Structure 1
């Protein structure tokens, strides 16, 4: 074991503070990474404040962070994919059983025995896993992916969650040139959805309640912007979408979007509203439409996504902050006061 600097919370109401955590020494299949940037995901806030206590209670001290980009410093004797000096990344998973049908199919995100990057039982230490708000991390090589060298590393970090969460369902539902795609909500997830839909060649339409977001949506790659509160604008698109990605986490009328789908069209939820959404079944029946949900992707698809981003020079729009401003960032995140993702420059941790 070795000690690493980190930022943690000691309780649901505590601010983040500097601390030291124990990391394992790399075993034969492990990769040790110096963390350069770590994105802040809204789920970090939920976990830090124990807002998912009914499903995933937080164990304190908690070190969040699952949008990790860094440089390899050490590899185990059996590791062949990485060598010291390589750019590497870690997302939401750091282990799975590797033997179940889901793992064998490359869908580690659906394994019943996966290990999350933080706040999950750690079989190596006997405690819980600690995430990317730290100077380094040690992860099994299968769960480490390569970062294209042309990408801005601060903007690449959120690709490990916000990126793959929006890329995966688009790939699954066949988003491509000639398709009409809607993106509901223009936040951390939605802005990545716009970039991917545009890069796939689809006709991309952003739905927002905020007229002030129109110019930004067009800048990000949207072909059209619809103000969702305007019934006439919505009606013009009835029955015309092949695919809609819904990235809204607040309560909203999902039926308004289901009615925009063409025959066999799909709406995929990646936002997670706290309360159940009322779904009008006739909207699904009339047109053989479907509604689904999607989490992150598996490791192979995550690498595919990063390679796609390298080819098309896609990164998240980020505001880079030092680790010392993480408490302020969380308060701003509650107010949606960020375009569109915070990325922590972990070099700032060296001064602690």
Structure 2
């Protein structure tokens, strides 16, 4: 079965790659975008092209089941060959991670209302967990969550503020995470599904950030007297932290998959530039300093591919893969940033211009080193695990 899945993944990835290179890449110069990302009119158009080409949501089979993580790695890497590719193919964050979580824990009714339209590419979603630092809210430390949901009679009443709500502006629904208390007073968290727009969720502002590939941008959202019935709870009450782990481990990895595709494309552009551009009587690539940078890129891209496959295999084996996903996220984000940096350097002035996507890939991967957990937080978590295991052996 795994072999068949891998073969399916290769065939789907090849189809996605042809679509991205032939159809999506020409849209990279389309003016329908703002400082935060492509406008929905552009997303709708390229998504319609993907539906027509049979590559919309290609990592989910018609019966609703997902490809293996290893097969998904090939497909998402192919979609990532353009910054617009994941949006066109419906493999973009946060939607891809939200689809995965809904598929795991949503009720049949919730899947029909929220998941099915998203799989069909009929709307965007957002994930509301991070909170403003000025409020002392949660970032990498979920125990700092300030947004609270209190049970009042038959309703949950939610109040708080969220930040870096990617894609909130224009999303069809949100997965909202809030602090709750069990009957014995033990602190916990619960996830809720909230249709958007909703009068109790008001966008305060859009945060200007270094990246610019997310429609709707990254919003600060005020949640005021949001009243929800028990049917709005995603999965079970008080299990939000556990569900976050279900979502985050694969989501960290799929980020790696998409950005591996983007860095691969940036390296292709830099290589073509180095072969064609002349300086001091010969092609740039024939200068050792440039040639060695491109050689390092080739090595680093292969190492990232192997790291992703290793983590994907752990997930496919049924492991939680929290440690593996942390290691992969650190290694791949840091390595791909070096790849993107070298691409900019090889191309000189052209590399920092908007003439190619190289400068955008550089910016996006710089942000990736923070999103879904900064490198230092993951290393700190790994160090704690190393200490526990060392003490257990002594």
Which TM bucket (shorter chain)? under 0.3
Higher relative contact order (CA 8 A, sep 6+): 1
Q: TM-score, normalised by structure 1?
A: 0.28
Higher-Rg structure is 2
Q: TM-score, normalised by structure 2?
A: 0.25
